[in-house]
A and B are shown apart, each in its own frame.
Chain A
Amino acid sequence: MLLTARLPLRALTAAALLCLLVPAWTRAMEKPPKITGTYSGVSRLRSLGEQNTLELRIVPTNEGYQGIVQRFARRPLRPSLAEVAVDGERISFSFSDPTDGAIRIFQGRIDQTGLTGVLRVKGRPGFSYEYIQRKTGTYWDEP
């Protein structure tokens, strides 16, 4: 009688333990996100004249990760080199804007689909939320 009463209790405890351990285990088994690649916020559904976004390519170099950013402010601007810092899934990069010389800083997270984070201009209030999608190739690669 006592044994049968204990069984469900043991099963419940085991199930609770599993619920706690499995998510932690799957998180530990997840591959770190691929950092290198091309990320673009440019949409082919709208004309370039309507878009304020950016394209980023991250490459590994003999000195760590490096980025190249082309901003689109109703027209494509001159690309800038960017220093990229990665810590797990956290990513940040900064670049000097060729139009006004302002330093723009992106801070966010990276996963298999792209970058999500905020972009702000150093020394100025305000920021914008950005989602920059991982893509194969840039806007300029397609006819």
Chain B
Amino acid sequence: MRHSFLLHLAALALPLCALLGLLAPARPCLGGQTAAKPPRIAGTFSQYSFTKDAADLDGLELRIVPVPGGYQAVIQEFEREPLALVLADVDVDRDRVSFSFRQPDGPLQTFQGVIAGDGIRGTMRVEGQAKPRECFLARATGVVWDQPVSAARKEHTCF
């Protein structure tokens, strides 16, 4: 009697385990293929370097914020001096982001990249220049202006 009960239990448990084994990879909470969270789009991203004499800064800071209907970017470029802030609409297609902007009287610049947890990797195309520039904008907390200058210089080595 007891033996047949155990057999019944095993007969029920085996298909259940098989079913769980099939479903588990598809369940996000169990770490399956669909568990990959869409990347966080909003945040601050930057790529800059101090010049050899460490007196000036080159690079770009980008802050993406959600707005009604999508995302918008606030961009500040550094060309040995900080340039004016520029606003740009950001196109987002899952992990792909792109935006275009221009400095007053400057060429149109278009960025296309892929966003991940640690930053945005992509290319910057400048109107009138044949070769796009590869860049990686690292995700950061705050901008260079949020920290004392000495701390910012320590963090970003010169090259």
A138 to B73, CA, bound (A): 13
Q: Per a CB cutoff under 8 Å, which of A57, A136, A140 touches B147?
A: A136
B65–A79 touching, CB < 8 Å: yes
Given contacts A63-B84, A140-B42, A143-B40, are A79 and B72 in contact (CB under 8 A)?
yes
The chain B residue sitting closest to A67, CB to CB, is B85
Bound together, the chains give a CA A136 to CA B152 distance in angstroms of 12
Which one of B4-12, B26-34, B107-115, B135-143 is at the interface? B135-143
Task: Name the interface size band of chain A.
Answer: 20 to 34
* Total A-B pairs, Cβ < 8 A: 83
Contact with B along A64-90 (1 / 0, CB 8 A): 001010100001111101000000000
Instruction: Determine how close the nearest CB of chain B comes to the CB of A105; give it in whole angstroms.
Output: 19
Q: Considering the complex of A and B, which 10 residue pairs feature the smallest CB-CB distances, nearest first?
A: A137-B142, A36-B145, A140-B42, A137-B141, A136-B142, A78-B67, A141-B141, A136-B146, A61-B84, A68-B74
Interface residues of A (CB under 8 A from B): 36-38, 57-63, 66, 68, 70, 75-79, 81, 135-138, 140-143
